[in-house]
Amino acid sequence: MLDSISVGGPPVISTKHGCDPYGRGLDDLRRSGMILVDKPQGPSSHQLAAWARDILKLNRLGHGGTLDPFATGALTLLLGNATRLTEFVLSSDKTYIAVLRIDRSVDLRKLVSVLDSLKGEVYNVPPKESAVKIRVRTRLISDIALIESEAESGSHAISVTCQAGTYIRTLARDIGLLLGCECKLEELHRDSTGVFGQRNLCTMHQLRDASLLAEQGDDSAMKKLIAPVEAFLNGKQGVWVRDSAIASVCHGAPLAVPGVFKLNTGIKSGDKVVLWSAKGEAIGIGEMSIGGDEVSGKTSGEVLRPKVVLMDKGTYPGSWTGRT
What residues are annotated to the active site? 68
Q: Please, which residues bridge with residue 305 across strands?
A: 287
In whole angstroms, what is the distance from residue 128 CA to residue 126 CA? 7
Q: Please, which residues bridge with residue 275 across strands?
A: 239, 284
In whole angstroms, what is the distance from residue 259 CA to residue 309 CA? 16
